[in-house]
Amino acid sequence: MLVAGFPADAFGTNCYVVATAPGEQCLVVDPGIGVLDRLDDLLAEHRLQPAAVLLTHGHLDHTFSVAPVCGARGITAYVHPGDREMLADPSKALSADLTALFGGRLPYAEPDDVAELTDGATLALAGLEITVDHAPGHTGGSVLFRLPGHDVRRLGAAAGPTPEGAEQLCLSGDVLFAGSIGRTDLPGGSMPAMLASLRDKVLPLADETIVLPGHGPATTIGRERATNPYLREVAAAGGAHTGAPARGL
């Protein structure tokens, strides 16, 4: 399997491409701000043809380029219904300062073909099987994408040592980062929902699972279970939280 990635021009948002191998169809995950040229270069380098776009959630820094990426290739964008309205109007989930910065100034439109994700669904796309876990908290429609991680070749933003015996990848969006989690203070965010997602969707994952987050470096569930203050608190207190700073847009 090939996983390649790079940070977008704004907010350090990771855009990923996942394929079974070079020269095959691929999935584009979270095409953010200013990614089009680098995405085209990456696709050309590995001779990849996008089959769909997967969105971990609806925030502008993860979805800004979804319409042109899908429109240029006639492909579908997948998003949870809880965040779908953000595709057409990203200001619905922006803070007051970001609304002042971006609101009404950016051309934006929902892609022509949008499919809605459901919790527990398995998507068969580009020769891959992707399991969807609805994990609200950062937004109401945040999801994790999980897929088998055998023989992973990782490049760019997804680079790093692959743990021995890693059998699963988790594209975590802004649910889980190396050392932190996504912020919950924007419209649609909820700390109680986030804590439930960490308890019910993240902690049960195997320690060897490779985590490819929406911002920052790759990590593993085992590393986060041992060092991430949010996971440690949730594991110890069954969902309690004492207030360590979160990250994200």
Confirm whether 137 is domain-assigned: yes
Mean per-residue pLDDT of the chain: 88
Q: What is the CATH number of the domain that holds 204?
A: 3.60.15.10
Backbone phi, psi, residue 172, to 5°: -100, 0
Total domains, the chain = 1
Residue 249 has pLDDT above 70, yes or no: no
Spatial separation of the C-alpha atoms in residues 130 and 128, rounded to whole Å: 6
* 77 domain residue, yes or no: yes
Q: pLDDT digits over 122-138, tens only?
A: 999 999 999 999 999 99
The answer to whether residue 244 is domain-embedded is no
* Distance set, CA 207 to CA 172, 179, 203 (Å): 15, 15, 9
* 243 found inside a domain: no
Token reading at 16: 């990923």
How many Å apart are CA 128 and CA 122, to the nearest integer?
10
Answer whether residue 175 is part of any domain: yes
User: How confident is the model over 27-71, as pLDDT tens digits?
Assistant: 999 999 999 999 999 999 999 999 999 999 999 999 999 999 999
* pLDDT digits 0-9 by tens, 65-107: 999 999 999 999 999 999 999 998 877 766 656 655 555 556 6
Residue 163 in this model has a pLDDT that exceeds 70: no
How far is CA 168 from each of CA 146, 150, 208, 209, 233, rounded to the nearest angstrom?
A: 7, 7, 7, 5, 24
Q: Is residue 247 part of a domain?
A: no
Domain membership of residue 249 (yes or no) is no
The residues near 44 (Cβ < 8 Å, ≥ 6 apart) are none
Name the token pair of 172: 């975590």
Whether the model clears a pTM of 0.95, i.e. scores above it, the answer is no
Q: Is the pLDDT confidence value at 236 over 80?
A: yes
With 0-12 CB in 10 A as exposed, 13-18 as middle and 19+ as buried, what is 18? buried
pLDDT at 161 over 50: no
Q: Give me the sign of the Cα torsion angle 130, 136, 138, 141.
A: positive
Distance CA 34, CA 51 (A): 20
Strand-pair category, 76-79 with 114-116: parallel
Say what the pLDDT of residue 164 is.
46
Strands (E), the chain: 2-7, 14-19, 25-29, 49-54, 76-79, 114-116, 122-125, 128-134, 143-148, 153-156, 168-173, 176-177, 180-181, 210-213, 219-220
Residue 38 covered by a domain: yes
Range of the domain at 232: 2-237
